[in-house]
């Protein structure tokens, strides 16, 4: 059973994220979308809203689920392993969250420095946790949640950049 973790802030999930998650879902038995609290980024959407949007956007992918997390990503992976030992029915769910692979999307050059830094540090913090990168296709190379939020805040058309549920949620936020 190969299980992958796709971490991010997902504020909100974009079509680029969904592309990476979909590719990962074809490569792994199960994909856990790890939605970070990311308080420093002061997200537009609450953690619950971001998880809910990921759930709606990935509803058609039977081996994908969204889980919120706070604190260090490597601790989240470890925490999931620890709950296996001590919890009841809930632990059966948690057991399935045991993740040994991180899957990240890579867009253009701008991503490299940041992703290299996080990967290098995560390797030092947790040498057993592997990170692999999936390259974004051209149409998503320059897509980001922040750009989508900006276009939407200025009442631009974001239909081609986000899943339908996110378009509706963003239009509501900026109405």
Contacts with ligand PNS, residue ranges (CB under 6 A): 7-9, 36, 38, 72-73, 118, 121-122
- Of the two residues 92 and 132, which places its CB atom closer to ligand PNS in the complex? 132
DSSP 60-78: T-TTEEEEEE-S-HHHHHH
On whether the CB atoms of residues 39 and 7 are closer than 8 A, the answer is no
On whether the CB atoms of residues 148 and 15 are closer than 8 A, the answer is no
- Of the two residues 108 and 121, which places its CB atom closer to ligand PNS in the complex? 121
- Minimum CB separation of residue 103 from ligand PNS in Å reads 11
- Minimum CB separation of residue 120 from ligand PNS in Å reads 8
Catalytic residue ranges: 17, 41, 90, 145
On whether the CB atoms of residues 123 and 130 are closer than 8 A, the answer is no
- Minimum CB separation of residue 89 from ligand PNS in Å reads 28
Beta strands at 101-106 and 30-36: parallel, antiparallel or unpaired: unpaired
């Amino acid at each position: 059973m190969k299980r992958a973790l796709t971490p991010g802030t997902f504020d909100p999930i974009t079509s680029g994220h969904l592309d990476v998650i979909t590719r990962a879902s074809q490569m792994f038995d199960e994909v856990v979308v790890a939605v970070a609290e990311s308080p420093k980024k002061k997200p537009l959407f609450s953690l619950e809203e971001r998880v809910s949007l990921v759930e709606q956007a990935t509803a058609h992918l039977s081996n994908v689920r969204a889980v919120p997390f706070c604190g260090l990503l490597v601790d989240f992976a470890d925490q999931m392993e620890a709950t296996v030992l001590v919890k009841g029915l809930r632990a059966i769910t948690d057991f399935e969250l045991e993740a040994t692979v991180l899957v990240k999307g890579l867009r253009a050059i701008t991503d490299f420095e940041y992703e290299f830094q996080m990967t290098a540090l995560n390797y030092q913090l947790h040498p057993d946790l592997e990170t692999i990168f999936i390259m974004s296709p051209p149409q998503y190379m320059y897509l980001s949640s922040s750009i989508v939020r900006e276009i939407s805040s200025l009442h631009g058309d974001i239909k081609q950049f986000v899943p339908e549920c996110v378009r509706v949620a963003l239009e509501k936020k900026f109405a």
